[in-house]
Amino acid sequence: MTFRYAIQTFGCQMNVHDTDRMAGVLRAAGGIAVEAVEQADLVVLNTCSVRERAEQKLRSEVGKLAPLKRARPDMVIAVAGCVAQQEGESLLKRMRHIDLVIGPDNIAELPALALEQWGGSPPVARTEFDTAAPRFLTWAPREGQEAPVVAFVTTMKGCDERCSFCIVPYTRGPERYRPAREVVNEVSRFVQAGSREVLLLGQTVDSFRDPALPPADPEDGLDGSQFPELLRLIAREIPRYRRQPSRAPGLARLRYTSPHPRHATASLARAHAELDVLAGHVHLPVQSGSDRVLRRMIRRYTRSEYLARVDRLKCSRPNLTVSTDIIVGFPGETEDDFEETLSLVREVAFVSLYAFKYSPRPHTPALRLGDDVPEAVKSERLARLFEVADVLSQKHLSGLVGTRQHVLVEGASKSEKGDLSRGRVQGRTERSEIVHIQAPGAAALVGEVVEVDITRANKHSLLAVPTEPIDSLPAPRPKLDGARRLPLW
Ligand code: SAM
């Protein structure tokens, strides 16, 4: 049987990744992806509940689909992702146009459940965590398919932290780790199919463990994380990218997100010193610069511990850059607490940051603390934080003008809407700065690491020209996918 499906994705990389996995199982069951929901037999809304008014947003999306569903009653509307997991069956009662509610651990069942819906079954919710026997859907290329330049590989799911603001432990369950061998095999499949960069994904990606790996370094104390060993295994087993003499498969860069500062151990810093395939950039969420707030957030590190960990990472690799996540207006956050956040931002000199106003989330311990920072104060603090962050990021980017960098080209520049013919492509440096390259024939650069001279700094990106003529490159691979959607935070 064939059917048409459309998936709408909200939220983080994890959701983008789940969308890819859903697309994989739907394709394998005869599904054909369509852009327009009007043409779809199955519409999946892949939801996020980390910050937004998730349910309101979902209600409005379902509302938009309702007239279509009235016109074509056999259209199946499925809700996936964190809101699905969080609300389960109750969504079916509250929004009567929804046919299916499917949790992140039940993605493999999506085609069978959709089929049951077309067969006339009543609406159903499937939201069990696979705690006893964790499943990780694997990626495998279809016949002749080339992989995206940047591939996402899941290493673990769930979260054992209990940060008081965060809904993730509730919507994604306890930590479960994918066997290291499976991770390496998937990295290898992507690289063989043309990927040049791999982004290892996990809610606390650096808490990874697998008894098959060498034990954690005793120097790391009780931490027990074997994530550095996973990085070493990948670096050892996966062939490295070499541009010449041909466009042979090879891994140019390895990144990971998001690490929890608690597991940013001495051996992780050593891995950065030893493995040149690792990118020279780490995204290390801090959330606040005030010890009092960090304690109330249950982050389990202090400001000075965070700073020491950043220092250790920075010492491991010359010019390593750090970005972060920050929440402003956490319950009880005073002006002094916020000033400490600003001073930490200046001290670390983050090259970029994602900042959010605190938003109370269902089921989280911080609900008990109230939400006492007025909205206007949250907005004002957010604006002040961005002001400081913009100055730092401008200083960093302008400092790169006139330097020579190596850029992994991901696809057409965002402004060109996927059109490679206009000679403007974008990619990232080894330290993750976004670089636009304007040159005739630049499409040939997609999937390659190109040496460039940086000519200008924009607000969030750089402009560059290649240092060598593009026609000296080997012929481009024909079917390489364009840039992956960039992380949403
Ligand atoms: N691994 C990350 C960490 O160490 O905290 C967590 C990633 S979390 C899924 C993404 C970001 O969303 C967090 O870093 C935090 O800044 C933000 N966030 C999570 N819950 C929030 C809330 N209740 N209000 C505002 N921002 C929130």
pLDDT at 16: 86
**Residue 269 and residue 116: Cα distance in Å, rounded?**
50
Q: Which of 330, 323, 7, 299 is nearest to 161 (CA)?
A: 299
**Residue 92 and residue 428: Cα distance in Å, rounded?**
43
Stretches where the chain sits below pLDDT 50 are: 478-489
Question: How far, in Å, are 23, 112, 157, 225 from residue 206 at the CA level?
Answer: 27, 34, 12, 7
Distance 343 CA to ligand 1 centre (A): 20
Torsion of CA 362, 363, 366, 369, to 10 degrees: 80
The residue whose CA is least distant from atom 4 of ligand 1 is: 260
Torsion of CA 80, 84, 85, 87, to 10 degrees: 180
Give the position, in ligand 1's atom list, of the atom nearest the Cα of 260. 4
Query: Do residues 173 and 216 lie in contact, with contact meaning Cβ atoms separated by under 8 Å?
Result: no
Distance 166 CA to ligand 1 centre (A): 6
Distance 263 CA to ligand 1 centre (A): 17
Distance 57 CA to ligand 1 centre (A): 19
Q: Which of 205, 227, 263, 327 to mutate to test the pocket of ligand 1 (most atoms within 8 A of CB)?
A: 327
Give the position, in ligand 1's atom list, of the atom nearest the Cα of 284. 4
Distance 148 CA to ligand 1 centre (A): 27
Q: List the structure tokens of 357.
A: 């106003």
Q: Strand pairing partners for 124?
A: 100
Question: How far, in Å, are 300, 358, 373 from residue 368 at the CA level?
Answer: 19, 14, 14
Pairing status of strand 176-177 against strand 156-157? antiparallel
Which DSSP category does 278 fall into?
A: B
Q: Which of 16, 51, 301, 310 to mutate to test the pocket of ligand 1 (most atoms within 8 A of CB)?
A: 51
The residue whose CA is least distant from atom 27 of ligand 1 is: 51
The residue whose CA is least distant from atom 20 of ligand 1 is: 166
**Residue 83 and residue 54: Cα distance in Å, rounded?**
7
pLDDT at 479: 47
pLDDT at 473: 64
Q: Which of 16, 50, 333 to mutate to test the pocket of ligand 1 (most atoms within 8 A of CB)?
A: 50
**Residue 179 and residue 201: Cα distance in Å, rounded?**
14
The pTM of this model reads 0.92
The number of angstroms, rounded, from the C-alpha of 290 to the middle of its chain's C-alpha atoms is 26
Ligand 1: lining residues by beta carbon, under 6 Å: 12, 50-51, 163, 165-166, 168, 203-204, 258, 260, 285, 287, 325, 327, 356, 358-359, 361, 489
Question: How far, in Å, are 39, 182, 232, 265 from residue 226 at the CA level?
Answer: 46, 15, 10, 10
Neighbours of 303 (CB within 10 A): 21
The residue whose CA is least distant from atom 13 of ligand 1 is: 325
Give the position, in ligand 1's atom list, of the atom nearest the Cα of 204. 1
The residue whose CA is least distant from atom 14 of ligand 1 is: 325
